[in-house]
Amino acid sequence: MTTAAASGPRTYQVRTYGCQMNVHDSERISGLLERAGYVRAAEADDNPDVMVFNTCAVRENADNRLYGNLGHLRPVKARHPGMQIAVGGCLAQKDRGDIVRRAPWVDVVFGTHNIGSLPVLLERARHNAAAEVEILESLDVFPSTLPTRRESTYAGWVSISVGCNNTCTFCIVPSLRGKEKDRRPGDILSEVRALVDEGVLEVTLLGQNVNSYGVEFGDRLAFGKLLRACGDIEGLERVRFTSPHPKDFTDDVIAAMAETPNVCHSLHMPLQSGSDDVLRAMRRSYRAERYLGIIDKVRAAMPDAAITTDIIVGFPGETEADFERTLDVAREARFSSAFTFQYSKRPGTPAATMDGQLPKQVVQERYERLIACVEETSWAENRKLVGETVEVLVAVGEGRKDERTGRMSGRARDGRLVHFATGAGGRPGDAGPPAGHIRPGDIVHTAITYAAPHHLNADGEPLSHRRTRAGDAAEAGRVPRTPGVLLGLPTIGAPAAPPAPTTGCAAH
Ligand code: SF4
């Protein structure tokens, strides 16, 4: 139950758990709340007027974490009249009214299909002094029609589809995010252009299965065409996408990647297991041979491609021989990095009730062997780049040790993390003319001097530095906003808080 707010605009904070979908949804939640007149509370302020949890349901202990956080907020709310707590995302879609039964101090529960209702639900809960729970079974509007407060000046997510038509047995996405809904290509390209007009240099096209994009409007080649159309957008320097699905991956996409200059030669393609028996139990309808065949074709067309993946270890019924097959495929695929996950039961998924659940120590031991195997390959792949010149898009928050080492960090075109020396006067705040400072969003060319399994270092003077409009915006503390209606230009807004945390959810 809440009371009227004190004077002045109400403040909000969004806490995000889970995958990129959730991170992007949180950008929309922020955009919606700001359009409704809320202002973002400072990061350190743990006492905002509205606290939104954007939850994830893929981890076994996701609900413990949520209810733990809600429990901590209960006394905070008691001391702060007018404070409201909202819970959205996959766990809200799953648990619905149970959330307010277990935590009656929660004001609003909203699902993955009705993010746009959040401001109205908050208002209604305040007016009625009662909790509002609203969960829809399917999308009312495509989420990209909602206003979005972007977290980055130089890179943006653009949704091409939501939901998934597959039924992988470890995954909760189909039951919580519904069937695949594809967005029209014209709308997607308008959003990309709007971001580029704001100075954004890189977009990541986002869908649970980008390779089935177009299934809804009957064009199996729609994704390749979309990549090529992105190639015509002037000022767009890098195009990425996540995630492809080996089952639906077609050769025209490889050709589009190779022939469209701004599409990056990086591919994050979830493997999940190298054993055909385990893939069958996961209900993933490709086999290891097909997976490796796609990689061969990608490397034939783009020898410089960096290939990354997701792998689950310890799926129910996985034998030592199955696991060794995963190691074989990982070695053969030469991944430049892999997100590795220990299988854990996700309530509501078919795999959670399968026979053959493995003891924790078996899963742990295999997991450690897999990490060692992947690191060996990724380190060998990275060492091939020593002495090469790479183009780095300078990033925020990618180099935890940068302060200590005096470097800055960013991503190469192939997605690799590069920590680079800036040369005298190169870092913002260094003595010397500010025009020489390298800002997040700028582009630097530099030569790789050292390779580690998870990153590259470049310790010579940068070979070139290009100031960009994204760098200007970062320096001025501005972030792009897309307005939701895709006509007209987005406006520039207030300084951004640091990006929301993100973890892989292995859901592809
Ligand atoms: S793992 Fe990916 S492809 Fe499989 S059901 Fe989940 S979202 Fe769809």
Using most ligand atoms within 8 A of CB, pick from 168, 285, 315 the residue to mutate for ligand 1.
168
List pLDDT tens digits, range 109-122: 998 888 989 999 99
Cα-to-centroid distance, 178 and ligand 1 (Å): 11
List pLDDT tens digits, range 286-316: 999 999 999 999 999 999 999 999 999 999 9
Residue 1 binned pLDDT confidence (cut-offs 50, 70, 90): very low
Ligand 1 contacts CB of residue 210 (under 6 A): no
Cα-to-centroid distance, 127 and ligand 1 (Å): 40
* pLDDT for the residue numbered 60: 63
Cα-to-centroid distance, 262 and ligand 1 (Å): 28
Question: Whose alpha carbon is nearest atom 3 of ligand 1?
Answer: 508
Cα-to-centroid distance, 167 and ligand 1 (Å): 6
* pLDDT for the residue numbered 507: 56
Residue 491 binned pLDDT confidence (cut-offs 50, 70, 90): very low
Residue 433 binned pLDDT confidence (cut-offs 50, 70, 90): confident
Using most ligand atoms within 8 A of CB, pick from 58, 166, 284, 310 the residue to mutate for ligand 1.
166
Share of the chain above pLDDT 90, in %: 71
Phi and psi at residue 470, in whole multiples of 5°? -65, -40
Residue 487 binned pLDDT confidence (cut-offs 50, 70, 90): very low
Ligand 1 contacts CB of residue 161 (under 6 A): no
| Closest atom, ligand 1, to C-alpha of 272 | 1
Residue 218 binned pLDDT confidence (cut-offs 50, 70, 90): very high
Amino acid letter, 281: A
List pLDDT tens digits, range 69-123: 999 999 999 999 899 999 998 889 888 889 999 999 999 999 888 898 999 999 9
The two tokens of residue 421 are: 């020396």
Cα-to-centroid distance, 470 and ligand 1 (Å): 34
CB 317 within 8 A of CB 279: no
Cα-to-centroid distance, 469 and ligand 1 (Å): 37
List pLDDT tens digits, range 196-205: 999 999 999 9
CB 35 within 8 A of CB 125: no
* pLDDT for the residue numbered 172: 84
Which residue spans within 98-251 are E strands per DSSP?
Answer: 108-110, 132-134, 148-149, 155-159, 161-162, 181-182, 202-206, 238-242
Ligand 1 contacts CB of residue 245 (under 6 A): yes
Ligand 1 contacts CB of residue 209 (under 6 A): yes
> Is the pLDDT score of 418 beyond 80?
yes
Ligand 1 contacts CB of residue 346 (under 6 A): no
* pLDDT for the residue numbered 59: 66
CB 386 within 8 A of CB 449: yes
| Closest atom, ligand 1, to C-alpha of 284 | 4
* pLDDT for the residue numbered 488: 31
pTM of the model: 0.85
Cα-to-centroid distance, 285 and ligand 1 (Å): 11
Q: What is the mean pLDDT of residues 372-401?
A: 95
Nearest to 288 by CA among 265, 269, 314, 268: 269
List pLDDT tens digits, range 359-372: 999 999 999 999 99
* pLDDT for the residue numbered 495: 29
Share of the chain above pLDDT 70, in %: 92
Sign of the torsion angle spanned by Cα atoms 259, 162, 270, 266: positive
Using most ligand atoms within 8 A of CB, pick from 112, 165, 173 the residue to mutate for ligand 1.
173
Cα-to-centroid distance, 166 and ligand 1 (Å): 6
